[in-house]
Amino acid sequence: MIKIENLYKSFGDLEVLKGIDYEVKEKEVICVIGPSGSGKSTFLRCINLLEEITAGSVYIDGVKVNDPNTDINEVRKEVGMVFQQFNLFPHMNVLDNITISPRKVKGMNPTEAEELAIQLLEKVGLKDKAKAYPEQLSGGQMQRVAIARALAMQPKIMLFDEPTSALDPEMVKEVLDVMKQLAFEGMTMVVVTHEMGFAREVGDRIIFMDQGYIVEEGTPEDIFVHAKNERTKAFLSKVL
Amino acid sequence: MIWNYKELFIRGIWVTLALTLVGYIGGIMLGLLIGLGKLSKKKWIYYPSKYYVDFFRGTPLLVQILLIHLAVIPTIFGQSLGYFVSGATALMLNCAAYNAEIIRAGIQSIDKGQMEAARSLGMPHKLAMRHIILPQALRRMIPPFGNELIALLKDSSLVTVIAANDLLYAGKIVAGAYNRFWEPYITVAVLYLFLTFLFTRVIAYTEKRFSNSYVPRQRRRMFTFGRPTGGSS
């Protein structure tokens, strides 16, 4: 479903990704772990081309994302993204946050979009907040709205960029629960996370990244129990 | 003495207001285009926008007014179109340069996560700019736009040099007629002060109306009602 070939990314002289190859299959949940600055987020952001790719290719459903002839907006309709800082639109209420993209991008009629939004809010447990503004919500609620907003485009793939890192500890669970439910329903997900418990429980495969490389990859058991690489072991010994 | 010329002063007020408002509104619209141009990655859009701002901010308004009235408009139209067209055009072009900078800075002050979120939802750049970035940025631009309005009101007095019968011109006529300077120019000053005071009030109201919270008043009340968790007051 997602195929990444020999992906390089540099910011000026700084090489952040140094040749990444990976393939994500349909309905898989991939968790990307690793120390700060290892390139996890950049890796994720290259998938929907929020970062320009320096070299290599990313294919989604066989379409080369970084081909100049590819309409990136078409690709992004299929790929939802959730950010660490939520990035809700503060000037719109929750309902408008969710419906704006289906309405303006897909041309969905407003009633239909609203019904979809209510459905999604129900799913993330925030039906009563439809008319609230982002500033009236807690971090956990904002992130759940952000998930609903991404789902409103009915994407095939969801990318999560440290979705719980900016949350107060007591709000982490409500967000992870929504993500778990999503994984359970068969969504293809790539999750950059520091939540090892979540990665272990929900991830089908775990990627350990360090210094721009995928150091080790495997099932949660392969990584968390039988890690082979010294760097993986060292990292896990610090965070587990 | 002043009273005998009250109609001249009243007409002056209207001319000053009309020049200011036409120049300002045109300046905001043109400024928006140029401000967006200065944010463009396309060189053929960026450089003309940049040079425009450099020119109109870098040369005196007085020179611009004379240039437009005596050179540009007669060259294009073959004759003068009157002080109002020249004056309003000069004020608009000048105001646009300053507004362009306000707009550019306002847009750049919006967290880049907003654009990323909009783009990640499949919105093309233009759509995201219009529905996500500009509505937020415009709010932040209100205080500097207010300053610009007041500055323009005062700068509009420069059109007196092309014999526009604005407020300052009324003062000059009276001064010339009586060969007295205190009374007419004090009157002019007080009338300008009165106008800027009015504008200040409008700006203060607008700022208050659009500051702090995005939550409309009535709706906020609705949410604190019976559900203490709903609103963060």
User: For B221-232, what is the mean pLDDT?
Assistant: 44
A64 to chain B, minimum CA–CA distance in Å?
Answer: 16
* Element spanning A19, H or E: strand A14-24
B4 pLDDT exceeds 90? no
Are the beta carbons of B138 and B110 closer than 8 angstroms? no
Which tens digits make up the pLDDT trace of A9-21?
Answer: 999 999 999 999 9
B223 pLDDT exceeds 60? no
Q: Model confidence at B218, in pLDDT bands (50, 70, 90)? A: low
Q: Give the model's pLDDT for residue B5.
A: 86
Strand partners, A190: A30, A159
Which tens digits make up the pLDDT trace of A53-96?
Answer: 999 999 999 999 999 999 999 999 999 999 999 999 999 999 99
User: For A177-188, what is the mean pLDDT?
Assistant: 96
User: Taking CB atoms and an 8 Å cutoff, what residues of chain A touch B230?
Assistant: 128-129, 132, 136
Are the beta carbons of B167 and B20 closer than 8 angstroms? no
3-class SS of residue A14: strand
Task: Read off the DSSP letter of residue A104.
Answer: H
Contacts of residue B8, defined as CB under 8 A and 6 or more positions apart, other chains included, come to B165, B170, B173, B174
A153 reaches B (C-beta below 8 A): yes
Q: At A107, which amino acid appears?
A: G
Q: Model confidence at A102, in pLDDT bands (50, 70, 90)? A: very high
Q: Give the nearest partner residue to B121 out of A105, A132, A133, using CB atoms.
A: A105
Which tens digits make up the pLDDT trace of B118-170?
Answer: 999 999 999 999 999 999 999 999 999 999 999 999 999 999 999 888 999 99
Across the interface, whether the CB atoms of B119 and A128 are under 8 A apart is answered no
Distance, CA of B35 to CA of A39 (rounded, Å): 34
How many C-beta atoms lie closer than 10 Å to residue A216's C-beta? 21
Which tens digits make up the pLDDT trace of A202-238?
Answer: 999 999 999 999 999 999 999 999 999 999 999 999 9
B232 pLDDT exceeds 70? no
* Average per-residue pLDDT for chain B: 90
Q: Give the model's pLDDT for residue A62.
A: 92
Q: What percent of chain A has pLDDT over 70?
A: 100
Are the beta carbons of A148 and A183 closer than 8 angstroms? no
pTM score, two decimals?
0.85
Instruction: Spell B192-224 as b/e; 16+ CB within 10 A means b.
Output: beebbeebeeebeeeeeeeeeebbeeeebebbe
A83 reaches B (C-beta below 8 A): yes
- What is the fold, at CATH topology level, of the domain defined by B3-212? MetI-like fold (1.10.3720)
Across the interface, whether the CB atoms of B136 and A91 are under 8 A apart is answered yes
